[in-house]
Amino acid sequence: MATQITYLTTDELASKLHYNPRYIREILMGSVLLEGVHYVRPFGRRKILFIWETIEKDMGTSSINQIPLIPLSRGGGVNG
């Protein structure tokens, strides 16, 4: 059984997360959102496609487990 993968552009992701697309490109990419995990560059081009299921899963991990998460300055977090 194949899993469904939903690819989103930066503008579509920004709309779902209620963030500015510029914030996603300049702050979140490379620190919180990782290439090959949360987004891909098809055919090595400039266009970026975000993988919604992975982002959604990672966003819900700490809230589902109800583990306090202390954010770190370089991205990520530590369970507190």
Of the listed ranges 4-18, 24-38, 62-76, the least confidently predicted one is 62-76
For the chain, give the mean pLDDT.
Answer: 84
Q: Where are the domains of the chain?
A: 7-79
Q: How far is CA 64 from CA 3, 14, 57, 69, 70, in A?
A: 21, 23, 10, 12, 16
Give the Cα-Cα-Cα angle 69, 20, 55 (nearest 5 degrees).
45
In this prediction, residues 25-32 reach a mean pLDDT of: 90
| Whole-number pLDDT of residue 39 | 95
- Give mean pLDDT, residues 48-56: 94
